[in-house]
Structures are given as C-alpha cells and as structure tokens.
Chain A
Amino acid sequence: MKSELDALGVVKKFGGLVALKGVNISVVPSTITMLIGPNGSGKTTLINVISGIYKPDEGKVLLRGKDITGLPPHEVYSLGLVRTFQIPSPFLRLTVLENLMVVAKNQLGEKPISAVFRRRRWMREEEELEEKAFRVMELLHLERLWNRRASELSGGQMKLLEIGRALMSDPSIILMDEPVAGVNPKLAYDIMEYITNVRKELGISFLIVEHRLDIVLDYVDYVYAMHKGEIIARGPPEEVISNPSVVRSYLGG
C-alpha cells in the first residue's frame, strides 16, 4: 500500500548539533501514527522539517509519493499537509471565527485586486466558509465563542482552536505537536475521541507527537520511538512501549 507520508534518511544539523541522524518514518493512509521520545530527542525538529519550516541537510520527505523536500511551508500546506504547534499559536487579535476562516485555501478574496473589486464573488465563498467554520466549531464546542478574540480563550480552548484550524483546510494528513499536553484528562480524552472520529469519517491520517502515553496510546495504530535524533523502535503500541531501549530512554538508567 502506498504511504501517505515518508521521511527517508532525514538529517538535520544545527551548527555542531545533529538533531536528526537519518530518520525514517512512514505514515499509512487513514491511520494514527504516534511519535514518542524524551525531550530533545528531535520530534519537533522532525515535524518542522516535514512541514517545511526547516530544510533538511540530507534525506527526502515524500507526501503521497511526491517529493516535498525543502518546499516552503505554504506550498506544503497547499498539498494537503497541515501541522499544529506545540505551544498553541492562534492569531491572537483575530476572532475564533476569523482564525478558522483565514486558513482556508485558494480564497478569491485574498487577491488584493479581487478583494476590492469582486466583493460579490468572494462574499459567496465567505458564506460557505462560514458555514464550514461553524460546523468545525460545533464539533469542538467552540461555537459560543465565535466572536471572541483568540487572546481571550483559555489554554484548553486554544488547543481546540488549534485542532479546528487544522481541520478547516481539508487536509489529507495532520501533524500534531502535543495536542493534549496541558489539557485536563476529560478534555484530552474528548480530543482523542474526536481525532479518531475524524480519521474514521474523513480518512485523514495523523502523525501525533505526545508524551501523555496513558491517554493517547489506546487510540493509535503505530508508534515510532525516537532518542537522540534516531528512531530506536517502531511497531504496534504495546510492543514499542515494552521495548527495553525505549523504557531506558524515557526513564533513564
């Protein structure tokens, strides 16, 4: 089966520090793949390389077989790969509704000339986008906050908004950097339930970086464990977390 996303021998150096030492991962379509590893093991760097924020020094990134290595982030996004940020990063002075609508692709009203002179045309797009944004908000129970500035949201609501924003673009794969860290257990389970539903209904693949193994592990299909810039284990969840080198890397000793 063709994979959704492949990283092949990705190397990333920051000066003398080698953050990624030839990482290989692949994500099967419509699955939830998890990436674990202690702090500083290179998980976020890998996400940044895949989403185009960093260029790798060596190796390739393939999205549905297409080489996307070194493409700027906005082009990677237009091909259907979207990522969320470890620290929720909504556009603070935009409202919740605006935060969702702004990320939609190919908006006619984003071209400066059309924005001024073809108002009627893009207004129609806006109506559809708004409907969609409200559907996403309803799923995430954010609809009551639609007109609030993102800066007024709580930490948990920001996490939800971060997820909602990722869904707005009809992606084929979502990379999530710690979607449930710092969220209360109830909400964390809700988020994971929600991700599972989205995967089932829309066939979106997920690559999730997360430390909260207790919550997330039950929902995932496949796990990669990283340590010091290398993949040290891969496989079904139970197998990976009982792997002695993974236990050692997490717990020390």
Chain B
Amino acid sequence: MKVGLKVLKFLPLPLWFLALVSITRNPIRFFIDLASFYSFYLMLSVSLNLEYGYTGIPNFGKVMFFAGGAFVTGSLTARLIAPLAGVNSMYLANYKLYNVIVGTQVSTFFAQRADIAMLTFLLMLILGAVVGALLGLVASYPAIRLREDYLAMTLIVTGELLRIIARNYDPLICGTIGVFVPDPFRWLTGLYHDLVRTGVMLGIAFSSWAFVEALVRSPFGRMIRAIRENEVVAEAFGKDVTKVRMQVLMVGSAIAGVAGALYAFYAGTVQADDFMPIRTFVVWVMVILGGAGNNAGAALGALTYLALDRTIVILKRYFTTPFDINNLSYIALGLALVLTLMYRPEGLIPEKPIILKRVRRANKPGR
C-alpha cells in the first residue's frame, strides 16, 4: 500500500518525459543524452550526499574532484596509447598543437583493438578514482580539522586553483584550447556505439550508487551520521572524527573522479573552463532538492534537475525571453532551490532512520 502510493507520487515524472520526447526531433538521441548526463550527475550527487547529507562535510569543492578525473583522462589517454598506435613522436613533442591529430589516430587504433581500448578505459577510470581520492586527501588535509565554514571555503578555493592551474599550465590539458580525448568505444558504430557506451556509464553510476548505499546502511553509516549530528560528542564516544571525515572525503572524491573520467570520454574533449564552481552548486541543488541524507533522494534530485534542464534546452527553441535564454536554466535552478528550502526543506524524499537488524525485534513493543 505504502509503496504503491510512493510510486503514484512520481508518476507525473515519466508522463512529463513522454510529453517532452514527443516534441523532440530524435527521441532516442534525447534519452541517450539524458542517460549519459544522468550517470555523471548521479555519481556526483550521491557522493556529495555521502559527504554532506550523511557526514555533514560541506564539500563546496565537488567540481575539483570531478575535474581531477577528467584532467587525468584528458592528459594521459592519448599520450599513453600513442606509442602503441604508432603515432609520430614529433606530434607528441608538440602536444598542444597536435593533440587532435594524436587523439584521432589513437581513436582509429581503438577502432581496431577493442581489447586495448577497454583496458585503457578501465585504467583511466581507476586512475580517475585514485587521483580523485588523492585530491580529496590533499585538499582537505590542512582544513579538515577546522570548523565547517572554513572547510567549505578552503574547498571552494582549492577547486578554483586546480581549474586555473589546468588553464595556464599547457602540458596538462593543453591550456586554454583544451585537449582531445580518444573514444574507447570507437570499435562500435552507429546507435549501437551510443547505446553500449551509455549503458556502461549508467552501470558504473548505479554501481557507485549501490556502493554508497551499502556504505551508509552499515555501522559506518551510523557513525558518520552521529558525527554529522555532533562531532564533539562523537569524538568523546570514541570516533576519530578527523580520520573518518577524511575517509568519507576520499571515497566521495574517488567517485567524483570516476565521474570525471567518464565525462571526459563522453565529451571527447576536456576544457578547463568546463569546471567552473557552478557545477558544484548544481550538484548541491540536486542533493537539497532530492533530500539530503537519503540516496534515493540524491538520485531523484539529479533526475529532476536534469529533466528541468533538458526541458529548457528543448523548449527554448520555441519561445523568446527578454533576457539571454541560456540563463533560464539557472533561473529555474535558483527558483527550485528557494521553493524547496521554503516549503520542503527536507527535500523530495526526506531522510529516514536506518534499521540494520529488525528481524528479532519485530515483536518488541513500541513499533
């Protein structure tokens, strides 16, 4: 009964999509796009939910870890495979100028060697996770002992620092021009290519969702919620708050790093200015909208935001506004945030107590 009602509540959502799809020119394309974007954003929102919703870490530097994964993928993939693909080493010597040529040749190589392509893909995801986790450690180390607001400031600043370094230090991702990323799914063609790639991305995204869900439904999850409630008391009751917050930030950042690697492969290019702080705030809106401290909420929040965003992208062809139409998405985002905070501060799906073991207690009083 209860579950049935819950489903009803979200019924308008698929209807909305159907209506939307009917006016798009290419419904399959639309869904593939949406699903691909959803997979990065799901990973970002679920990892921010772990950090903020469950542990209370105000991670305003989310984009940095996402960027870390994207930068390592962008800077290494083509260069790593270039010798195998027989790319002229002259091109590698002047990578900034010739990165598109190198990348294209590596892509062509991937078209013939699916095995190497997939191994590279996997390696980059792992590297993305490692770089994300390390960045999480480095960025938080000086500030994790500080009060929440200072930690938030430190993280937002470090995020910008990383973007500015990438923008100005050419060897990383070719500075302002950005870097071309070869396509590891090039051995597939046409619609099949897009479907498989998006399927893999969604699979990875839902695995991270499941990982975070398993993590919070454990004594670890109970501990991080206790730390969120009162860190002094948690510390007095034996929890090493600094260490636990670092662990959480490393796990969350590793997930964001993988999301960044996926994004780099999906976009086919990595540009430093694609990693502005606004991305962090978008993810925050998703978490607050969906319901902090509830992973289903984080997933729904990401979907709601993307649905809104995509709707605007499609609809803006059909009408004009007195302001730059591209700002409409931000206006809607801000409005959604304000309305949520005013009328439903706990989000679409509020946090619920987690009961780990209830079998024996089924007959206990007070249920």
Flag whether B311 is at the interface (Cβ < 8 A): no
| Closest partner residue, chain B, to A150 (CB atom) | B229
Q: Does A200 contact B (CB under 8 A)?
A: no
Which residues in chain B, 341-356, are within 8 Å of chain A measured between CB atoms? 351, 353-356
How long is the Cα–Cα vector from A111 to B218 in the complex, in angstroms?
A: 10
Chain A neighbourhood of B235, CB < 8 A: 53, 72-74
Could you tell me if A103 and B220 are in contact, using CB atoms closer than 8 angstroms? Answer: no
Q: Cβ of B211 and Cβ of A116 under 8 Å apart? A: yes
Q: How far is the CA of A92 from the CA of B56 in the complex (A)?
A: 14
Complex contact A77–B238 (CB within 8 A): yes
In the assembly, what is the distance between CA of A92 and CA of B226, in Å?
Answer: 8
Indicate if the CB atoms of B215 and A74 lie closer than 8 Å.
no
Q: Which of A112-153 contact B (CB under 8 A)?
A: 112, 115-116, 119, 122-123, 125-127, 130, 134, 143-149
* Residue total for B at the interface (Cβ-Cβ under 8 A): 38
Whole-angstrom distance between the Cβ of B264 and the nearest chain A Cβ: 27
Q: Which of A89, A93, A147, A165 lies in contact with B367, CB distance below 8 A?
A: A147
From residue A173, how far is it (CB to closest CB) to chain B in Å?
A: 14
Q: Which residues of A contact B353 (CB under 8 A)?
A: 93-95, 98, 147, 149
Does B357 reach chain A (CB closer than 8 Å)? yes
Please indicate the chain B residues that have their CB under 8 angstroms from the CB of A94 in the complex: 222, 225-226, 229, 353
Q: Are A93 and B351 in contact (CB under 8 A)?
A: yes
CB-defined contacts of A73 to chain B, threshold 8 Å: 235-236
Chain A residues near B293 (CB-CB < 8 A): 93
Contact A109 to B218, CB < 8 A, known contacts A73-B236, A102-B226? yes
Q: Given A73-B236, A127-B357, A144-B365, check contact A101 B218 (CB 8 Å).
A: no
CA distance A165 to B223 in the complex (A): 14
User: Chain A residues near B8 (CB, 8 Å)?
Assistant: none
User: Closest Cβ of chain B: how far from A126's Cβ, in Å?
Assistant: 5
Are A130 and B211 also in contact (CB < 8 A) when A101-B222, A115-B220, A147-B366 are? no
CB of B237 within 8 Å of the partner chain: yes
Which residue of B has the minimal Cβ distance to A85?
A: B233
The residue in A82, A89, A92 that gathers the most chain B C-beta atoms within 10 A of its C-beta is A89
A110 within 8 A of B: yes
Q: Please name 20 further chain A to chain B contacts, defined as beta carbons within 8 Å, in addition to the given A98-B222, A98-B353, A108-B219, sorted by A numbering.
A: A53-B235, A72-B235, A77-B236, A77-B237, A83-B236, A85-B236, A94-B226, A95-B355, A102-B237, A107-B219, A110-B220, A111-B220, A112-B220, A115-B220, A119-B218, A122-B219, A125-B219, A130-B357, A143-B364, A169-B238
Stretch at the interface among B77-85, B166-174, B239-247: B239-247
Nearest Cβ distance between residue A210 and chain B, in whole angstroms?
19
Decide if B218 touches A116 in the complex (CB within 8 Å). Answer: yes
Q: Closest A residue to B220 by CB, please name it.
A: A115
A95 to B234: give the CA distance in the assembly, Å.
15
Give 19 pairs: A residue, B residue, CB < 8 Å, sorted on A: A52-B236, A74-B237, A77-B236, A83-B236, A89-B232, A91-B225, A94-B226, A94-B353, A95-B355, A98-B225, A102-B223, A107-B219, A115-B221, A126-B356, A130-B361, A134-B364, A144-B365, A145-B366, A147-B353
Give every chain B residue within 8 A of A98 (Cβ-Cβ).
222, 225-226, 353-354
Task: Mark out the residues of chain A between 46 and 78 whose CB falls within 8 Å of any chain B CB in the assembled complex.
Answer: 51-53, 72-74, 77-78
B251 close to chain A: CB less than 8 A: yes
A105 at the interface (CB under 8 A from B): yes
Question: Is B360 engaged at the interface, CB distance under 8 Å to the other chain?
Answer: yes
Q: Given contacts A94-B353, A130-B360, is CB(A116)–CB(B222) below 8 Å?
A: no
Partner of B230 from the list A77, A91, A148 (CB cut-off 8 Å) is A91
